[in-house]
Structure 1
Amino acid sequence: MLFDAPDFDAHEGVHFFDDPASGLKAIIAVHSTHRGPAAGGCRWWTYVDDEAALTDALRLSRGMSYKNAMAGLAVGGGKGVILKAGYGPKSEALLEAFGAAIDSLGGKYVTAEDVGMSDADMTVISRKTKFVSGLPVSGGAAGGNPGPSTAQGIFLGIRAAVRHKLGKSDFAGVHVAIQGLGSVGGGVAERLAAAGARLTVADIDEARAARMAASLGATHVAVEDITRVSADVFSPNALGAVLDADTIANLDVAIVAGAANNQLATPADGARVKARGILYAPDYVINAGGIINVVAEYLGDGDADAVASRIAEIEPRLAAIFAEADASGRTTDAVADAMARKLIGR
């Protein structure tokens, strides 16, 4: 039963959509509208079964509530997932049907792009609803592809973690192992390389990993080996649940800081990371750059310079969480969760 699902967290609404004409099968989870409409991207992904898709929607929407609250945004948290496997191509008809599904919720949920989606897809979705952001924009405006904004926030967050854990004010000689080289992970790699970091990279697309390694002077390894690399920082920038009992035991790093959502596979894994003496940057705090950008676009609240200033706040925000965790003896994820739940009235 939905209410007994491990990741159901008093969600305000969980909506299922099935449009045989277009092939759309989707879930929109609204976790909280305490601070405003539930904002969060939509991902187009292959799930092993419908239960896995529901779990993803529930976890991601809760994470968006926490992320948006911690970033000080006047929105709540929600997420959309479109089931990819076996349901045909990502056609304009399917995207329009998803737009109509969003519109049927009357503004409770505002979408943008996530894994498998693009700003061009948002343009198609916008034919059927106004509750969409992440649309193509002209230079100097807020909005558009959120990937570069997310990457900038990750770079700043890693810098905060390096300063706190390693006592270094720059990246000279800092070794970072990067998992995932898409629009976010690739941007993180480019920024770190430019700042003097030494990189080891991996991606499910090995050719892409090899190309990026060559262009950045990095080393590349097979994707299944990246969590075993001896480095200062492990930066997961692919899909979630990467930190479980097995991977945590194998880590040989001082810091975990990356863009992937829901990096901790279970609530117990934050304690496992801490027990290994590893500093964890809570994912929904460090990866808020993209949603900061698209919310500014949606609300008409500032230009690209204003967005950059808000993204810069990720660094001191993480520093405060690290300091509180040290002072209280709690895990960094527990500190961040407590702050976020207070902000959303839970």
Structure 2
Amino acid sequence: MPIGIADGSSRRARPRAEPGAMNDPRTRMQVLEPEATRDLVPRLTAPVWLYRFEHTEHGWIMCIATQGEPGSGKLSLGGFRIVPEARAAAPGFSPEREAIGLAQGMGEKAAWSRLTRVGGPLGLRELDRIVGGKCVLLPTPGFRVGEKGDFELLDWGVSCCLEVERRAGVHLITGQDMGHGVMSDGRTTSLEYLHERFAGSVLEDTSKPTGEGNYWILRGALDALGIPIHKASVGLIGCGNVGMHVLDRLHDAGARLLALDIDENRLRELSERGVATFRAGEKARLVQAPIDALVVNAAGGSLDEPTVSAACENERLRVVCGCENLAMTDPQGVERLRRAKTAYMPTELCGMLGYLTAVEEYLSRARGVRYGVEVMFEAARGLEPIGRRGMSRLVERNFDCTFADAVREVYGENPLG
């Protein structure tokens, strides 16, 4: 069913529908041009093209969004998300909006890395070719990773990626995201399977460099506020791969930690390590606790209106950061935090090391040179001066601008006067 017609969100720009894409009569492909994607996600600030595939027999949907204009040869960066059941059941979820919104977020990460010149040695040379993108694959029951139909699902997903590269003339670079794991054979990981069949799929666990960058930018900001990391009190929402890396680094540095997660086993593990734990329904209590910083690394939407309100009322809280995609759902949240003299450090800035890691692995393989993730851990340290200099400027200006604007001023873009 054509997106933007069934849900009434677009009456002007109808997508092109092409049955039989990839020479598979069971696959239907639609191309949504930037006018149509902006109808679906009005907050878009740059053009996004969406390639939507539907498997008419199994009901799968694959949405591949990119800021790369057709025929541009751009490197379209964004993870390969296999939508978990809980995420698919979230109010208002659609794979189309998810892919478009995440592609914009990836574009913002690329813009931050261009401004601050953070990245691996090969990626830094290609920053002008990089644009935001995202692959969002919505399975049906019985086909998620670990279920009996998972190989068939991923074969189809790879075919969709190859078709987009052929038709759009952009290079998709994708990798770890939600929904990956060990396949139904009990041996093969989903990332290995994709990597063997699609050159743009990378293998590196990008969560660790992502979390490393989050740690360093937070450390820099706290340092500018005169809060040594070993004396800081930090609340964390989301303790998955990225969140746990940040937590481990903070724990090793001696910070006092409070953590919220939906996984009871994870909470028990953290409690045994001396971390104060909170269940999902206790988010307000965590945010209202005596903390200096709040770090969000959950599945999305952590910074809703009630959470932002609680953060604004916490006089001790000075920093909100993290790597969570689509974290800020309160449209006035950034401005409300600024008025409360709490710095919101954009998650696209804090989390850009993940995409930069994928770029570095892809370019290394393409050029036949050795790749080692250690270069990205070194690059992650480049976020420390961004946090420190941005926060220092924000304090100098007495919070009359946002943290993002302070960083732009420090690094020479859009002087505030």
TM-score (norm 2): 0.72
| 1:124 and 2:193 correspond | yes
Q: Post-superposition shift, 1:283?
A: 0.5
1:193-212 mapped onto 2 (5 Å cutoff): 193-212=251-270
- Which residue of 2 is the match for residue 269 of structure 1? 333
Task: Give, as a single letter, the amino acid of the residue that structure 2 aligns with 1:70.
Answer: W
Give the drift of 1:94.
0.8
> Are residue 96 (structure 1) and residue 183 (structure 2) matched?
no
**What per-residue deviation string (whole Å, max 9, x for no partner) do you get for residues 2-43 of structure 1?**
332224444341111112456531211112468931111022
The alignment status of 1:309 with 2:368, answered yes or no, reads: no
Question: Aligned equivalents of 2:82 and 2:409: distance in 1?
Answer: 31
Quote the residue 2:133 is aligned against: 78
Any residues of structure 2 matched to 1:2-41 within 5 Å, and which?
2=36, 3-5=38-40, 6-20=42-56, 24-32=60-68, 36-41=74-79
Query: SS at 1:126's partner residue?
Result: helix
Pair 1:339–1:29, CA change in 2 (3 A): farther
Per-residue deviation, residues 237-272 of structure 1 (Å, max 9, x unmatched): 102222232211112322112121222214421101
Which residue is equivalent to 2:401? 330
In structure 2, relative to structure 1, the CA distance for the partners of 1:227 and 1:81 (3 Å cut) is farther
Q: Does the 8 Å contact 1:154/1:258 carry over to 2? A: yes
Tell me what 2:3 maps to: none
Instruction: Give yes or no for the alignment of 1:111 onto 2:174.
Output: yes
**Equivalent residue number for residue 250 of structure 2:** 192
TM-score by length of 1: 0.85
Tell me the secondary structure at the aligned position of residue 80 of structure 1: strand
Unaligned runs of 5+ in 2: 1-9, 11-35, 115-122, 183-188
Aligned pair partner of 1:58 in 100, 104, 122: 100
Aligned-residue RMSD, C-alpha: 2.8
1:76 offset after TM fit, Å?
A: 1.3
Q: Structure 1 residues 110, 70: CA separation in 2 closer, same or farther (over 3 Å shift)?
A: same
Is the 8 Å Cα contact of residues 270 and 333 (structure 1) preserved in structure 2? no
Rounded to whole Å, the distance in 1 between the matches of 2:401 and 2:65 is: 30
Q: Find the counterpart in structure 2 of residue 139 from structure 1.
A: none
Contact residue 48 and residue 100 of structure 2 kept, 8 A? no
Partner of 1:219: 276
Q: CA deviation at 1:128?
A: 3.5
Query: Which residue matches 1:321?
Result: 390
Correspondence for 1:288 among 352, 363, 369: 352
CA–CA distance in structure 1, aligned partners of residues 92 and 63 of structure 2: 10
Larger radius of gyration: 2
Query: Relative to structure 2, which stretch is displaced further, 172-181 or 29-38?
Result: 29-38
Tell me what 1:138 maps to. none
Specify the alignment match of 1:181 in structure 2: 239
Match of 2:17 in 1: none
Counterpart pick for 1:235 among 275, 280, 295: 295
Tell me the equivalent position of 1:148: 208
Paired with 2:240 and 2:297, the residues of 1 have a C-alpha distance of 8
Q: What are the equivalent positions in structure 2 for 1:252-263 lying under 5 Å apart?
A: 252=314, 253-263=317-327
Matched pairs, number: 330
- Provide closer, same or farther for how the CA distance between residues 191 and 51 of structure 1 changes in structure 2, counting only shifts above 3 A: closer
Does the 8 Å CA contact 2:234/2:294 hold for their aligned counterparts? yes
**CA-CA distance at 1:185 after TM superposition:** 0.8
Q: Structure 2: how far apart are the matches of 1:148 and 1:47?
A: 26
